[in-house]
Chains A and B, each alone.
Chain A
Amino acid sequence: MTETITSSAPVAAIRIENLGKSYGDFEALKNVNLIVAEGERIVICGPSGSGKSTLIRSINRLEEHQIGRILVDGTELTNDLKGIEKIRSEVGMVFQHFNLFPHLTILENCTLAPIWVRKLPRAEAEEIAMRFLHKVRIPEQANKYPGQLSGGQQQRVAIARALCMKPRIMLFDEPTSALDPEMIKEVLDTMIELADEGMTMLCVTHEMGFAQAVADRVVFMDRGQIVEQNEPMAFFSSPQNERTKLFLSQILGH
């Protein structure tokens, strides 16, 4: 079923071929192949330590891979620093622990990269930042510091911060797993809105409701490999692999 998606997209947003990465003797990723079409929404799940973070962080080269190739918008990730910085500025990332800059205000968090990377004038960067802060529904917090916000608000700022760079692709690494239950929804709602606008998204998450609502494909990883992938309905109703069944029974069971 991967094949059909591949052939329908001329230049894939992300093309991962035969990816391999080891930490010493330990193989964190083995022979991973994944093609993400423009506008596609992919949810990645799998047990802890299965390599989900490593995979998603390889896409903007927060991790360096040793084997295989990664192409983002047709550009291969190599050691060329300028090329990597260019790709990073077009790929937004949202982290589990928000990673907002605590010494800067919310507005400054959002304008920093547009000003220093995109070289936008401050006024224009601020205008864009306010637009996205409106979008994530916290414009009134613009002049506060991250430490003064709740977890859910901080994560929405992190999403706005990434969006201010006008990325073509958004990566999410367990964006809701550090949040209290009552704050998960506000973040997921923001992400669903983003998906509805056609953003290309890769999201590591165990929020299966979110996967069913927005994902075009669910990818299941285990021990550094992609074990199974399918569209959400089929993935949840009739998993093929034993490990997938076990995993699903564990997270859906209770």
Chain B
Amino acid sequence: MTDTASNTLALPIRPFLRPLLQRLAPFVGTPLNVALSLLLLWLILRVGWLLLDWAVVNAALLPAKPETCAATTGACWSFVIAKSGQILFGIYPPAERWRAGLVCVLILTTLVASARPSSWRPWLGFAWVAMMALVLWLMGGGFGLSRVPTSSWGGLPVTLILTVFAIGLGFPMAILLALGRRSGLPVVRTLSVLVIETIRGLPLLSLLFVASILLPLLLPEALLPDKFVRALLALTIFAAAYLAEVIRGGLQAIPSGQSEAAKALGLGYWNTQRLIILPQAIRIVIPALTNTIIVMIKNTSLVLVVGLFDLISSGKAALSDPDWPAPSTETFLFIGLIYFALAFSFARFADFLERSGMEKRG
């Protein structure tokens, strides 16, 4: 690969080499290109080797004991292995961790099962409601399971529950807000604008503080929802306000002829929106929706400031064990990987949806 393009191409080349050389050609066109390519190649190899050295060659894996880590200069994966239960499930009672694990499996399975447009039938809505009820029972206990207060919930199930509930409840709210903002009724319109603009004007952090600190001061004890529920409410309306504006963008892109045609056929307002306008509007804004939803997945980590233990807080808690060195890089890489898997698979899913929608228009 150190040959310049002209030299190499002059030689008789075996057919299978030709495509490879054609691909390399842009990297070796001029002497400057050759120099830059070599420099970058060296950098990539060097950094790659350092990473490999740290993450694999010198890494401490098993047995998952503090001593294993002490003996190495590389990554301390033994910590992540030994503490994986705590990182994933936080301060959830260890004996009941199977329940928290089951909750994660349940949520992820439902998500995957909902991915195919062909499964978007009314029963899917019921499946979701059933899933949510089951999740709350498994996590919180009662009816034969020991009770676990929300203050003891933690880790991945908290992140998943907050994400799925905030978006699952926020999305219908967002649709109503978006429709409300375009409503012909002044009261509805003003109210929607007020809600959207207020929520959008506030940072999520301040909303979480209002929900967790201010609300208890304002409401009598009996009316006050649980801290977890309050944080969830804050996340939900925050998601709703942002999603509403994204959806409104889609609604505005639909030509007025569509609703006129629906009206002319005798369809009422709700049927027109549900059957004609929203399916088209939402399809248009899938990229922007994806973006907002991915931001929301990551935003759930902010609940740690109001004392809920999501994945990041439980990782931090695990790191505070004095028996172990505190390999925070490894821990946060592990957590980062989970977030990445969630966000990336969602992005791929959205991409798939968008493309399956395009095929239809021919």
Contacts and interface: CB of A to CB of B under 8 A. Distances in A.
A12 interface: no
B263 A62 contact: yes
Given A103-B280, A144-B362, A145-B361, A95 B265 contact: no
A86 interface: yes
A89 B263 CA distance: 9
27 contacts: A62-B264, A81-B268, A86-B266, A88-B265, A89-B266, A91-B264, A93-B264, A95-B260, A99-B255, A99-B257, A99-B258, A99-B260, A101-B258, A101-B280, A103-B279, A103-B283, A103-B357, A112-B267, A112-B275, A116-B271, A116-B275, A117-B266, A145-B362, A147-B361, A162-B264, A165-B265, A165-B266
A60, A101, A162: residue with the most chain B Cβ atoms closer than 10 Å: A101
A85 interface: yes
Contacts of A103: 279-280, 283, 357, 360
Given A60-B264, A85-B266, A102 B257 contact: no
Contacts of B261: 93, 95, 99-101
B360 A117 contact: no
A15 interface: no
Interface of B: 255, 257-258, 260-268, 271, 275-276, 279-280, 283, 357, 360-362
B266 A102 contact: no
A97 B257 CA distance: 8
A103 B117 CA distance: 14
Interface string A90-125: 111101010111110000000011001100000000
A148 interface: yes
Interface SS of chain A: mixed
Contacts, number: 71
Range of interface residues on A (Cβ < 8 Å) = 20 to 34
B131 to A, nearest CB: 28
A102 B260 contact: no
Contacts of A97: 257
B267 A117 contact: yes
A254 B166 CA distance: 65
A11 to B, nearest CB: 21
